[in-house]
Amino acid sequence: MYPEDVSVEVHSTVSLACTAFGAPAPSVVWNSSGLPSISTNASGYTVENRSVVRVGALSLVQSVLHVCGFSLATAGSYTCSAENYAGTTSVTTTLSLNVPTGIAVAPNDTSVYVGDTVALSCVSHGLPFPSIYWTREGEPLRQPVAVNQTRISGGHVTFLQSTLLLCSLTLSDTGLYTCSASNNHSSARQTFSITVKVLPQIVIYPNDSAFFAGSTVRFSCTSYGLPAPPISWSRDSLDLNKLSVNDTRIHIWNETVGIGPTLVVRSHLLICGTVVGDSGNYSCTASTPERQDRAQFLVNVIGVPPTLIQTPVDVDIVAEKGNSIVAACIAYGNPAPVISWSLLPRFSGTLSTEPDSTSATEVINTTDSTVYTRQLVDDDSGVGMVYSSLLLCPAHQGLLVSSLVSCTASNGVSSGNTTNSHSFLINVTVEPQVLNEQTDHEGFVTETVSLVCRADGVPLPEILWLKDGCPLSRTIEELPRFQITQRVGPGFRPHVLESVESVL
C-alpha cells in the first residue's frame, strides 16, 4: 500500500500512509526532495510507525507521515522506502500546494465618454496558477480588445494581472463586465459596470437679435447628451435661472425627449415686456459635473424715443379771477414716456409727475399748477401713448406777464432727431387801472397846477388826458402852456411788475 499524489490546501495537515511486508519485518524510512531522511522530530513532520502484524511467515509494517502547516516549502516529492536483509523497495508520491483562487484587485464601476479609451486591471491569485478571462453581460468579449497578462509571484501565492484595454468606446460598450479567474480546483469572479456617456453639446441656439422694448421674446436652446445635460441661462454673468424666481417677467422651462440612447433637452427662456436693460450678452450652458458646452448670442433691446404728436398753440388770456388756461400734450414712445411741464422765465420747477404704474389715470395738484395725466395706449409692442394736460390760473399764480411754457416727453431713450419738447407762449393781459383818486383843484390866474395820474396793467397802459372831453394832445400843440411828463415805475398791484405815472 502506498500513497497517491495529493493536492493540499495551504496551512492544512496531510497524512501519507505506507504499508510494507517482508520476512524478516522491513524497516520503513521517509525522505523528500528537501530532506534525505525525515525523522519523527523533524520540524513540521510527524512519523508514526505502527506495530508489526504477522501473516504467516510475513510481517506487515505500516508507517504514517504527517505533514503539518502545509506550504510551498513542504510541497514536493515524498518517498517511502522499505528495507530488510532480502532487499529494498520504495514508492514516491507528490504533494502539490493548492491555494484557492481569488480576485485581489478588481476594477470599480467606471463612467467614461464616447470615444474615450479605458484600461481595466484585474489581479487574481491561486495555485495552481489561475487563468483570467473577461466577459460582458455573460458573453466573451468580441475583438478588437486588448488583454495583457503578467505573472507576479509572492511567497506561496502567484498573482496574475490581466489588463483589459477598450478603445474608442461607443454607447454599445455600456454594460456589466466580469473578470473571472480559475484553476483546476477553484474559481473566483468580480463584476463591475462600465457606463458610456455622451458629452453635453449645444446643437441649436439663438442667433444675435434685436427687439423693440416692451416686446415679449422667447429664446430656445437644444442640447443632447447622456445623461440628460441640464441647461442654464445667463446674461452678462447674471444667473437668469435664479433671477426668474423673483422676476415675474422672466420664465424658464425645460423639456426632455429621447432620441435613440441619448437624451435631448430643449430649454426655453421667455422675457415679457422687454426693457432696454435686457440688452446684453446671453449664453445657454449645457453641463454635467465633468464637462460643459456653451453657446452665446447678443440681444439688443431697442427703445422708441418719445415723440410729441399733439401740442398747444400760443394763447392770450386776461388775468381775472376765474379765468384759466388748459394746455394738452400727447406723446408716445417705448417705454411709455413721462410728460413734464416747465414755465419760463419766472418759474424753474417742473409742473408734472410720472403716472402711477398701478393706475391709468392720476391727477396731481401742486402749488404751481394742476396736471392731469392718463396713459392712453400700451400695446403688445411696448409702445405707450400718454396724454397730459396742464391747468393754469394766471390770476392766482402770478403769470401776469407773457410766459413761455414747455411740455417735454422723456423715457430714457435718446431722442435723436425726434420731437420730444414743445414750447408755447401765454400772452397774459391785465386790464389797466387808475391807482390814485382824482380830486377837483382850484388855482389863481398864472399859477402852475400839477395833476398826477398813476395806472398799471399788462401790457403797460398809456395815460391819456382829456379837457372837457377833448384830448389834450391837440391842445398842447396849440397852447404850449400845457405840459405832460410821464415816467415808468414799479407796480403797485400784486404780481404787476410795472406802473406808469403821468403828470399834467
Give the closest residue to 30 by CA, choosing from 71, 73, 76, 72.
76
Q: How confident is the model at residue 45 (pLDDT cuts 50, 70, 90)?
A: confident
**Cα(244)–Cα(261) distance, rounded to whole angstroms?**
32
What pLDDT was estimated at residue 205? Answer: 92
Which tops the pLDDT comparison, 274 or 259?
274
How many angstroms separate the Cα of 113 from the Cα of each of 24, 28, 133, 196? 82, 70, 25, 5
422 pLDDT more than 70? yes
For β-strands 250-259 and 361-365, DSSP reports them as unpaired
419 pLDDT more than 70? no
- Look at 68-82, 264-278, 382-396 and tell me which has the smallest mean pLDDT: 382-396
296 pLDDT more than 90? yes
What pLDDT was estimated at residue 477? Answer: 56
Tell me the pLDDT tens digit for each residue of 151-202: 665 555 567 788 888 888 888 889 999 998 888 878 899 999 999 998 899 9
Whether the full predicted model's pTM is greater than 0.85, yes or no, is: no
Q: What is the mean pLDDT of residues 8-30?
A: 86
What pLDDT was estimated at residue 363? Answer: 35
Q: How confident is the model at residue 269 (pLDDT cuts 50, 70, 90)?
A: very high
> What mean pLDDT is reported for the chain?
79
Tell me the pLDDT tens digit for each residue of 308-347: 888 888 887 777 666 778 888 999 887 788 888 887 655 3
Give the closest residue to 375 by CA, choosing from 339, 326, 421.
339
**Cα(130)–Cα(140) distance, rounded to whole angstroms?**
18
3-state SS assignment for residue 242: helix
**Cα(171)–Cα(217) distance, rounded to whole angstroms?**
38
Sheet holding 238-239, edge to edge: 209-212, 292-302, 280-287, 231-235, 238-239
3-state SS assignment for residue 358: coil
3-state SS assignment for residue 226: strand
Give the closest residue to 261 by CA, choosing from 207, 199, 314, 197.
197
Give the closest residue to 501 by CA, choosing from 473, 448, 463, 449.
463
Neighbours of 428 (CB within 10 A): 25
Report DSSP letters for 410-458, one per residue: E-SS--TTS--EEEEEEEEEEEEEE-S--------TT-----EEEEEEE
Tell me the pLDDT tens digit for each residue of 62-99: 888 888 888 877 888 889 999 988 899 989 888 887 77
Which tops the pLDDT comparison, 33 or 66?
66
Give the closest residue to 286 by CA, choosing from 256, 259, 245, 310.
256
